[in-house]
Amino acid sequence: MILVAVDFFNEIRLIWDIICEVGYVDEGPGKGFPPGFEYRWADNKSRSPISCSGPQYIQYVLDWIDAEINNEAIFPTSPCKKCIPNVFFLYFLSYLL
């Protein structure tokens, strides 16, 4: 399941990079689509939300998701020792069937 989520994120990142490369115009904080809509971003670095444009907001979100996906505490990349016997058991069951 996580592989599908990571693959989806990579596709979204690729599409966003293509849009930025084509030359999307950044109109500045508080301007963008829809007209009059203000985007605000708050993270651990700032105490209050900062005003940003739509493209900046999307970049903040994509960077945050990338940091969460690469966080070892949330998504460990090394196999756990408890999981290995379960994998062998599942392989054994599939062999019997």
For helices 2-22 and 54-69, give the axis angle rounded to 10 degrees: 150
pLDDT, position 79? 66
Residue 14 belongs to some domain of the structure = no
pLDDT, position 1? 61
Residue 73 belongs to some domain of the structure = yes
- Provide the domain limits for residue 75: 26-96
Structurally, how many domains does the chain consist of? 1
Residue 13 belongs to some domain of the structure = no
The residue behind tokens 């907001």 is 57
Show pLDDT as tens, one digit a residue, over the chain (97 residues).
667 888 888 898 888 888 888 776 666 666 666 677 788 888 877 778 888 877 888 888 889 888 888 887 877 777 666 555 555 666 666 666 5
Q: Is 14 exposed, middle or buried (0-12, 13-18, 19+ CB in 10 A)?
A: exposed
23: left (phi over 0), alpha (psi -120 to 50) or beta: left
Residue 20 belongs to some domain of the structure = no
pTM score, two decimals? 0.67
Rounded to 5 degrees, φ, ψ at 39 are: -95, 140
